[in-house]
Amino acid sequence: MKSLNGRLCMTLCVLSLSMASTAWAVETAPELSSDKKTIEAIPEYVGTETCAECHEKEVRAFKTSTHSRMAIAGEEVKAQGCESCHGPGSLHVDAGGGRGVHIQNPGKNPEACFACHSDKKHEFRLPYRHPVLEGKMSCTDCHDPHGEDVRPWSGTSVKDANETCTKCHKEQRGPFVWEHEVVREGCTTCHKVHGSINEKMLVARDNNLCQRCHTQASFPTIGRSSHATRLPGGTCFSAGCHTAVHGSNFDDHLRY
């Protein structure tokens, strides 16, 4: 465990570096942001055609995105196309554009995605979750909102079912000698990837998770082996049982 002195030393060091740099810049800058520069106007929607004047490439490519099929044509509906996610753009246009200038960046702020996907706002607050609201991940780490497939994988994408997940979760990528076929169906078969009340973001925490597929008429016989005394003891993936649920290099029953 780090000592208190060590912690304070590191903190002061980082603060000093950034504050010294800040102070130097403050001294050479004529003034800090003043009240006179505060924008009080309410932004208005300008339409996708206006966005295309500077962002022609992005607007053009967006037509191929599955998100674009939600766009309503014409000027009758105000918040459409780019502005349905990035917010009304009039102030951004008036300011001459610029990254982050009076425009929302959903890659940095998940609230833009929650405007439509409102259920995810609660899922990311469940006890076991990917740390999007903590700022350590963003929706765009797994989803490409402008992409041909917004969801991480489809039956016609170059990526396979789990490639987005195994970018970080390399241990589960394999390949393994003895595969667990369900992994090819996708990680979401067993995991609720945004957030879950169950540990390891599981869809179900008990044997029902496995028994969706591994139940037969002669239950509690599974295969040809009676599990009558084993199943009450705990989950299928308990110690000494089927611990290699993502695949095993050595055991056909995924025991190790």
According to the binding rule CB under 8 A, does residue 122 interact with another protein?
yes
Select the residue interacting with another protein from 63, 95, 109, 151 (CB under 8 A).
63
Residues 192-221 that bind another protein (CB under 8 A): 196-200, 203-209, 211-213, 215-220
Within 10 Å of residue 112's Cβ, how many Cβ atoms?
A: 19
Work out whether strand 221-222 and strand 178-179 pair parallel, antiparallel, or are unpaired: unpaired
Residue 68 or 86: the one with the smaller Cβ distance to another protein is 68
In terms of C-beta density within 10 A (0-12 exposed, 13-18 middle, 19 or more buried), how is residue 135 classed?
Answer: exposed
Among 48, 45, 41, 76, smallest CA distance to 62 is for 48
Select the residue interacting with another protein from 70, 95, 109, 151 (CB under 8 A).
70
d(CA 183, CA 247): 8
Residue 89 or 192: the one with the smaller Cβ distance to another protein is 192
According to the binding rule CB under 8 A, does residue 156 interact with another protein?
yes
Residues 73-102 that bind another protein (CB under 8 A): 73-74, 76-78, 99
CB of 165 to another protein, least distance (A): 14
Residues 7-46 that bind another protein (CB under 8 A): 7, 10-11, 13-15, 17-22, 24-26, 28-35, 37
Rounded to the nearest 5°, which phi and psi values hold at 129? -155, 165
Angle at 132 (CA atoms; ends 110, 200), nearest 5 degrees: 140
Where do we find the tokens 């990035």?
A: 86
According to the binding rule CB under 8 A, does residue 227 interact with another protein?
yes
- Count of residues touching another protein (by CB under 8 A): 115
